[in-house]
A and B are shown apart, each in its own frame.
Chain A
Amino acid sequence: MKTMSVITPRRRRNIGIALTKKTGLVFVLPALVLFAVFIFYPLMTALSYSFYNWTGIVRGEFASFGNYVTLFTQLPYKTQIPNAFVHNVMLFAGAMLFQNTIGLGLATLLHRLKRFKRFFQTMFTLPYLVSPLVVGYLWSLMLSPLFGPVNFVLKSVGLDALAQPWLGNPSTAIWVVVFVTAWQWVGFPVLLYGAALGGIPEEINEAASLDGASPWQRFRDVTFPMLIPAIGTVSVLTFIGAMEAFPIPYALGGSMGSPAGATDVLSLLFYRTAFESGSSNAIGTSSAIATLLFLFIFGVSIFITWFMRRAERRLY
């Protein structure tokens, strides 16, 4: 008994110190090294590259903000950047609308479901497990005006007017991109909202109904406020996903954002500039695009997170 009382405090002290300082550092180090090599170093490299003029891969003179000025004063950037940016915003707005209405609706329905809950959860999440590039190419095949089954079905049921060249018409093409992106990712908010709904204690809802709250009042005043953290997470991730969107727009509209730039997004513009332009200053200009894109995503993500935290604090 005496021995135990001597050993226990020593052990505890040892473990405590090690986990908070040195051992902790050792555990963090591998991740830190990977982060430094694969995230931080390329990020800093791109930032520094954007301030130089390049000839192929040979770094030329210091260009200051020259490459950034090019983006807003020279063709094709000065017309393509605003065009692509608007499409990124449409992608974000569409995805938010889809995920926070249909995604939340599905999650609520599944939450009430007693049987087959797992089955449906898996079904909704399935497209999310497939590579977005594959999803994009599959949809472009399905929507082909020549061989696509979508228009074939529409025509065979007498809906000829709806049998559009979906990806060939600029007014529908970007919405196809929005739809396919939302279709693929809807399983994610379903899972996230499902978990958040599961985390709301039953008693609160029961108490509310005992107090005479209608189902809508219960959702608005009890469930919804408790979902705010999940909505915040979904919003930030949706924003990052929409601003970085590449594989689905690439598979549906090609690197040029066909037709006539109607599906162009910022990542496609970056890809074209870096790898397809053949411009000798491709590294400088594309690094400037990448840096601006990063700063924008980073800044707005921080803002959304701050805004959502404030909303949470107000509600509780």
Chain B
Amino acid sequence: MRLRFLALGAFAIGSAVLLSACAPSASTAPAPDAKDDVTLKVWSWRTEDVEKYNKIFDVYEAAHPGVTVQFEAFQNTEYNQILTTGLAGSDGPDIPMVRAYGQLQPNIAAGQLEPIDGLVEGLEGIAPSVLAGAVGKEDGKTYAVPLATQTLQMFYNKDIFEQNDLSVPTTWSEFIELNDTLVTKEITPMALGAKDSWILPIFADIVGSAMYGGSAFETKVLDGSTTFEDPDYVASLQIVDDMQAYMTPDVVGVSYTDSQIQFTSGQAAQFPGGSFEIATFATQAPDLNIGSYQVPVPPNAVSDVPLSAGYADGNFAINSKSEKKDAAFELLNWLATPEFGQLVADELNQFSAIPGVTYANAAMQEAWDNYEQAQAPYLLLVDFRYGEPLGTAVLGEQIQKIFLGQTDAAGAAASLQTGVSQWFTPGK
């Protein structure tokens, strides 16, 4: 009898555990707050910026009595899963930070985000290639306010340049001469972590965007009047191949982290990378004196001027299940103001997507001025990450093969075209 009772009890406990694991968590969220007292949940993957965001939202709270912004950050690598679960449930964020371009589409397709066209002011001033990162591919509606812009340029160690009487190149021949001089002086001209393939399409656009023509090529490749096998695009990949002479031998064995150390420790004079490196360099080597420049126009290039590729990095959107949409829209409108943009620049050391922001950090201002001069999209990220295989993933691997001598520029371009053709239909 006692045994039967015991077995029954164990079964009941076991079943309860099983059921609680399967069932969605019960809604313990409080009822929507009274009109004057609203708490808005903001989610982000920037765990390193929690204090800075709290400081930024203090400014908003001070101007909006009764509104509390609760900022929560989750591990970057796990954020997509956490957000997906959060948006599906009832206790998710009101304003989630969301990814851009192709990576945003699953959330839009699942109906988890609120369209914001006509409801948020200040979007018209944002660069089209940046705002495109917040637009639904299928319906063309805008779903988010871009947070930051990244730009891709050549960073250089000012001290090494000065010690060796070198100056920022303004023509292609000067650029080649600069690198040749560094080689003769036994300084590695460029630090590149080619073992991590994601950095390679970035490098390709830093040295080759002007060669294939940036935005003009983007228009043509999207409407189908050309492909990646276009001689100009192949020529841009040939430049990538030629640049290997200015890197550490066997560069495919060098990891991205190693390349950062190579640059910050003064072993390499230049670092082709994104503006997100500025903050990293400042932390790793506070005394490092860095500058940036746009790689000059190569001979026979489509563009007459040097180009800086850029893209949107992160957006703020509104959860379609939020019960506090009015307050959420008010906050989202503030996130599109120059006031917030300036706070992004000052507190987060990032390039704001909002125009009219100034940068106290000299290296940031220089990179931003370069970008403002002549912009181009970071083509494979902006337009070719909407299907599988991702354009960036294909080209990254192909450039590794170029460096390893397993393929050439034309072969890499052909593989890129074959890869993206699987899902990309021109003119759509």
Contacts and interface: CB of A to CB of B under 8 A. Distances in A.
Contact of B389 (A55, A75, A166): A75
Interface in B225-265: 248-255, 258, 261-262
A146 B401 CA distance: 20
A30 interface: yes
A155 to B, nearest CB: 13
B112 A56 contact: yes
A254 B196 contact: yes
A284 to B, nearest CB: 12
B81 A55 contact: no
Interface stretch (A17-25, A119-127, A225-233, A292-300): A17-25
Interface string A65-95: 0000000001110000000000000000000
Interface centre among B3, B198, B396 (most CB of A within 10 A): B3
Nearest to A76: B389
B18 A22 contact: no
B111 A57 contact: no
A26 B10 contact: yes
Contact of B4 (A22, A146, A275, A282): A22
Interface in B356-390: 385, 387-390
B110 A258 contact: no
Nearest to A274: B81
B14 A29 contact: yes
A33 B13 CA distance: 10
B254 A145 contact: yes
Interface string B65-77: 0000000000001
B253 A168 contact: yes
B424 to A, nearest CB: 12
A74 B195 contact: no
Contact of A74 (B103, B105, B253, B422): B422
Nearest to A143: B253
B397 A256 contact: yes
A278 B396 contact: no
Nearest to B415: A75
B80 A258 contact: no
B355 interface: no
Contact of B253 (A55, A56, A167, A282): A167
Nearest to B250: A165
A256 B111 CA distance: 30
Nearest to A41: B22
Contacts of A167: 195, 253
A256 B84 CA distance: 24
Interface in A36-73: 36-37, 41, 55-58
A57 B394 CA distance: 25
B400 interface: yes
A216 interface: no
Interface of A is mostly: loop
Given A37-B17, A76-B419, A168-B252, A256 B197 contact: yes
Contact of A76 (B14, B77, B197, B388): B388
A111 to B, nearest CB: 41
B17 to A, nearest CB: 6
Contact of A165 (B4, B18, B103, B253): B253
B107 interface: yes
Interface string A136-176: 00001000111100000000000000001111111000000
A9 B426 CA distance: 86
Nearest to B385: A278
B393 interface: yes
B112 A33 contact: no
A241 interface: no
B253 A75 contact: no
Contacts of B109: 55-56, 58, 280
A279 interface: yes
Contacts of A33: 14, 17-18
Interface of B: 3-4, 6-7, 10-11, 14, 17-18, 21-22, 77, 80-81, 84-85, 88, 99, 102-103, 105-107, 109-112, 194-198, 248-255, 258, 261-262, 267, 385, 387-390, 393-394, 396-397, 400-401, 404, 406, 418-419, 422
Closest 9 pairs between A and B when the two form their complex, measured CB to CB: A168-B253, A165-B253, A56-B106, A165-B250, A56-B110, A33-B14, A168-B252, A76-B389, A260-B400
Interface of A: 18, 22-23, 25-26, 29-30, 32-33, 36-37, 41, 55-58, 74-76, 140, 144-147, 164-170, 253-254, 256, 258-261, 275, 277-280, 282, 285
30 contacts: A18-B3, A23-B3, A25-B7, A26-B10, A36-B18, A37-B17, A41-B21, A55-B109, A55-B110, A56-B112, A58-B109, A75-B389, A75-B419, A76-B419, A146-B262, A167-B195, A167-B253, A168-B194, A168-B252, A254-B195, A256-B198, A256-B396, A259-B195, A259-B252, A259-B400, A260-B404, A275-B80, A277-B390, A278-B99, A280-B105
